[in-house]
Amino acid sequence: MEKHKVIELRHLTDSSFVVRMERNGLEFQTGQFISVSLNGKVDRREYSVYSGEKDDYLEVLVREVERGKVSGRLKNLKAEDDIYVDGPFGFFKFSPQTFSSKKFLFIATGTGISPFHSFVRTHRGLDYQLIHGVRYACEAYGHSDFETGKTILCTSGDDGGNFSGRVTDYLYSQRIDHDTNCFLCGNSEMIYEVFDMLTAKGIPVSNIYSEVYF
């Protein structure tokens, strides 16, 4: 693992935050993840890279887990503290130029929005829509970094989003062009349900890409 210096912590909610650290030349492809540790040995956790390929820093989005061995300690980091990084890893890579159709649908729950944040920071001018499911509207992590009119926030715990209900409730009545490339990231239950829903709507399996967070 390589040692990086923390630049800053940016708190988004009481339990979620972005860790910005020195990049130290680490090369990754948007959509990949890194392994993070406080001591470089045990108690590592994997996080999708939140920053873009061209940013001169490295960021991860973290949600504090109750009694979590890593997330709670990450929350207490300060500028100039050391953090250890291994990677990058993973195959949830995104290169829009390789797709014949340039229509993209990004579907996320919770901090599963991380790779999509990296997607849009890296590749400007995409034809995309982001559907993001959270409990409360305050958990719209980084929505201001997405283009106006291209995000739908689905909230299951309050009425503060664009749609009251789960991601699957919103998708049920939506028409999706059959040549849309669909990327799913979040909890396994959502991914299984959305996968079935998309194929039922005529989206080919070859157009569906997924990354399971938990």
| Domain endpoint, select from 70, 89, 108 | 89
Domain count along the chain: 2
User: Which pLDDT value is given to residue 214?
Assistant: 62
Residue 67: how many other CB atoms lie within 10 Å: 7
Q: Find the CATH number of the domain harbouring 199.
A: 3.40.50.80
Domain with 28, as residue range(s), is 2-89
Q: Find the CATH number of the domain harbouring 32.
A: 2.40.30.10
Q: 9 and 42 share a domain?
A: yes
User: Which pLDDT value is given to residue 149?
Assistant: 94
Q: 115 and 162 share a domain?
A: yes
7-64 per-position pLDDT tens digit: 999 999 999 999 999 999 999 999 999 999 987 667 889 999 999 999 999 999 999 9
| Domain endpoint, select from 36, 68, 89 | 89
Q: 146 and 190 share a domain?
A: yes
Q: 46 and 23 share a domain?
A: yes
User: Which pLDDT value is given to residue 41?
Assistant: 67
Q: 142 and 166 share a domain?
A: yes
Q: 205 and 115 share a domain?
A: yes
Provide the 8-state DSSP code for 177. Answer: -
Q: 85 and 44 share a domain?
A: yes
Give every strand in the sheet of 45-48, ordered side by side: 45-48, 33-37, 82-89, 2-11, 16-22, 57-63
Q: 117 and 85 share a domain?
A: no
42-48, long-range: CB < 8 A, 24+ apart: 43/69, 43/70, 44/70, 44/86, 45/70, 45/71, 46/89, 47/114, 48/90, 48/92, 48/114, 48/115, 48/118, 48/185, 48/211
pTM (two decimals): 0.93
User: Which pLDDT value is given to residue 212?
Assistant: 83
Residue 91, pLDDT > 70, answer yes
132-144 per-position pLDDT tens digit: 999 999 999 999 9
Q: 82 and 163 share a domain?
A: no
| Domain endpoint, select from 89, 124, 149 | 89
Q: 82 and 126 share a domain?
A: no
Q: 101 and 206 share a domain?
A: yes
Q: 45 and 147 share a domain?
A: no
